[in-house]
């Protein structure tokens, strides 16, 4: 998959202010406000910036945290993980491998079979229903 590097002005034109803040400035939407945190549709969640497939409805679950949660990526080769030491915490940041968009964070408190939770901002996602 070819990496996408758009100029900042192009991202600002393509994305809403909230999508830009979350994906390009590593922001976070408020919990329980995103359009996908309680979404129940069947299909694929894609990157709002580049449309790369990221997660599937089969791995989505209600973690109670207020953001869409997944116990595994749908396409592992489209996800990157980075150490995040911001805000006085040690976390694992999750980004889109194709365009570098900030998606959210990974935590070790998910359900079986993986035991991990991808806590992802709705503003970083689009959805393609089956």
- Asked if 119 is an active-site residue, the reply is yes
Query: CA-CA distance, 47 to 111, in Å (whole number)?
Result: 24
Residues 2-25: what's their mean pLDDT? 88
Domain boundaries, given as residue ranges, for the chain: 8-129
- Give yes or no for a contact between 39 and 125, defined as CB atoms under 8 angstroms apart: no
User: In whole angstroms, what separates CA 43 from the centre of its chain?
Assistant: 15
Q: How many helices (H) and strands (E) does the chain have?
A: 2, 9
pLDDT of residue 3: 61
Phi-psi region of 43 (alpha: psi -120 to 50; beta: other; left: phi over 0): left
List pLDDT tens digits, range 16-43: 999 999 999 999 999 999 999 999 999 9
* Helical segments of 1-129, H only: 8-14, 17-25
Residues 124-129: what's their mean pLDDT? 97
Query: CA-CA distance, 127 to 51, in Å (whole number)?
Result: 9
List pLDDT tens digits, range 55-90: 999 999 999 999 999 999 998 899 999 998 887 888
pTM of the model: 0.92
What percent of the chain lies above the pLDDT cut of 70? 97
CATH hierarchy code of domain 8-129? 2.170.150.20
């Amino acid at each position: 998959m070819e990496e996408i590097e758009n100029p900042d002005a192009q991202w600002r034109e393509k994305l809403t202010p909230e999508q830009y803040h979350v994906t390009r400035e590593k922001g976070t939407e408020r919990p329980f406000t995103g359009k996908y945190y309680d979404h129940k549709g069947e299909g694929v969640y894609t990157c709002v910036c580049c449309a790369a497939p990221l997660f599937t409805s089969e791995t989505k679950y209600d973690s109670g945290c207020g953001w869409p949660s997944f116990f595994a990526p749908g396409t592992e080769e489209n996800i990157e993980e980075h150490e995040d030491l911001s805000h006085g915490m040690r976390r694992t940041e999750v980004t889109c491998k194709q365009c570098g968009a900030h998606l959210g964070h990974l935590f070790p408190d998910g359900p079986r079979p993986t035991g991990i939770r991808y806590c992802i901002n709705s503003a970083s996602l689009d959805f393609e229903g089956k």
